[in-house]
Amino acid sequence: MGETVFSRLRQGILLGLRTGGKVLLGVGALLGLGSLVAPPALAQTDLTALEQALPPEAWAELQTLLKTQQYHADIVWTTVAGALVFFMQAGFAMVEAGFTRAKNATNIVLKNLMDFCFGACAFWFLGFGLMFGSHVAGFLGTNWFFFNWQQGAEAGSQNDAWPFTFFCFQLVFAATAATIVSGAMAERTRFLAYLIYSIVISGAIYPISGGWAWNGLFADYNGGTAGWLENLGYIDFAGSGVVHLVGGAAAFAGTLVLGPRLGKYGPNGEPRAIPGHSLPLGMLGALILWLGWVGFNAGSTTAAIPDIGWIAFNTYLAGAAGAIGALCTSWAIFTKPDMTFAANGTLAGLVGITAPCNTVHPLGAILIGSVAGVLVVLSVLFIEGTLKVDDPVGAVSVHGVCGAWGVIAAGIPWFAHAEAGVTWAVLPVQILGVIALGGWSFICCLALFLILKGTIGLRVSAEEELAGLDIGEHGNIAYPDFVTASGELEG
């Protein structure tokens, strides 16, 4: 088969040469490549023999053609993957709305829309430059702020306009970090305060720490700089730490400053359940997030290469193992299998595998996901029952705790496949990354929320909270034909 493919490819190129002109040469090459429908056929082609058989001009033209086609494929895959990650905004909206009360549904979905809209503008104006511009001592970007068409189109040695595609992909990651906070602070946060937070985290807090680990991804366009964590050998392929831990730490800071919902804790401090209005809607959101996570992890290749399948494979396994781990843990504790913990277990497994998704073997993916599933249940119970922190959707546990676990797991050689090159020497760097990323986000967001609380106010009034933020903040009702249940819990 390889010889047949080789012959057709060679004949196609020579046809182009005989008909004359570089354009027709490219067409001839494409005619030859048309026989390479199956990827294995291309892999089996002996390119060395082909180089020897073709005239130098034809070989050079073929190399250029193949490079161009690969570049175009990279753009298509990265753009599609970014769209999948963007679709996670819908998943977050459904999870948060479903797991909270109907009287706040409009507020929640609007926050998930507007944190992206305001965050997108802030990330273009300031955040992208802080994260991916030429770094000063590996800490802070100094250019690429509000870059224009000419700068994006002509940057780099190839003038390939890659910065546009790269920006779009990184933008949806910034939006993910920002929207994690929405669920943890649901049902009692002022809308204006949340918008200001979205601008600050997307424009400054997330990009600065993100650049510590990922600045080198833009090295061809920022003068070859890299972040300080990156230079230490920090592993975080798709963002367990950079995105999820940062978002989870921000959520923890917000819940601490905001305080619990009215009626969440009884007179003796015992936590009370405040059921969400639509568990099926929440589960739909979790499944949407799982779909988007394929783009999140596999898309982080930013290249149409075989690693996509391997990374997606690990992502599915870890998500499944996380759901099983959480289901079994909640079943053992509560004597019944809990749907909300199963859904959060899926997300916990996905968060855990995000950092090491390209370095672990299949059993490692299952183990990482399983541990994350157990952790999320225990963490939710500890945060709610012991720390008395009210997190309506478990965002701190899913993203913060399991994000930290994913970063640490990336530095454990037992989970890594043979070619990953992970050694125990990486583990201290991973732990340092957890402290640096989580600490930075927590301290900055704690200060931000305290400032908001002391100025414009962070929390709605008790009357607005009891009536629901849909009415108090927006004058909307998500379900006008529903009869509101009586007996709302009051403090």
Structure tokens at 254: 């917000």
- Beta-carbon count within 10 A of 120 CB: 20
Region label for 215, one of left (φ > 0), alpha (ψ between -120 and 50) or beta (otherwise): alpha
Structure tokens at 298: 């596999």
Question: What φ, ψ does residue 320 adopt, rounded to 5°?
Answer: -65, -45
pTM score, two decimals?
0.90
* pLDDT at 9 (0 to 100): 53
3-state class (DSSP) for residue 289: helix
Q: In 255-379, which ranges are E strands?
A: none
Q: What is the pLDDT of residues 31-73, one digit of tens each?
A: 444 444 344 444 445 677 777 788 888 888 888 888 889 999 9
Q: Which helix (H) or strand (E) element contains residue 140?
A: strand 140-141
> pLDDT > 90: what percent of the chain?
81
| Mean pLDDT in residue range 139-168 | 88
Q: Nearest 5 degrees, angle CA 220-CA 224-CA 230?
A: 110
Residue type, 363: L
pLDDT(167) > 80:
yes
* pLDDT at 158 (0 to 100): 66
Structural contact between residues 353 and 314, judged by C-beta atoms closer than 8 angstroms: yes
Structure tokens at 448: 């931000």
* Residue scoring higher pLDDT (396 or 52): 396
* pLDDT at 486 (0 to 100): 44
* Residue scoring higher pLDDT (284 or 30): 284
Q: What is the pLDDT of residues 114-149, one digit of tens each?
A: 999 999 999 999 999 999 999 998 999 999 999 999
Per-residue pLDDT band for 397 (boundaries 50, 70, 90) equals very high
| Mean pLDDT in residue range 475-482 | 89
| Mean pLDDT in residue range 170-182 | 97
Q: What is the pLDDT of residues 7-17, one digit of tens each?
A: 555 555 554 54
Q: What is the pLDDT of residues 294-344, one digit of tens each?
A: 999 999 999 999 999 999 999 999 999 999 999 999 999 999 999 999 999
* pLDDT at 35 (0 to 100): 41
Average pLDDT value over all residues in the chain: 90
> pLDDT > 70: what percent of the chain?
88
* pLDDT at 46 (0 to 100): 62
pLDDT(430) > 90:
yes
Per-residue pLDDT band for 248 (boundaries 50, 70, 90) equals very high
pLDDT(451) > 80:
yes
| Mean pLDDT in residue range 391-400 | 98
Q: What is the pLDDT of residues 73-100, one digit of tens each?
A: 999 999 999 999 999 999 999 999 999 9
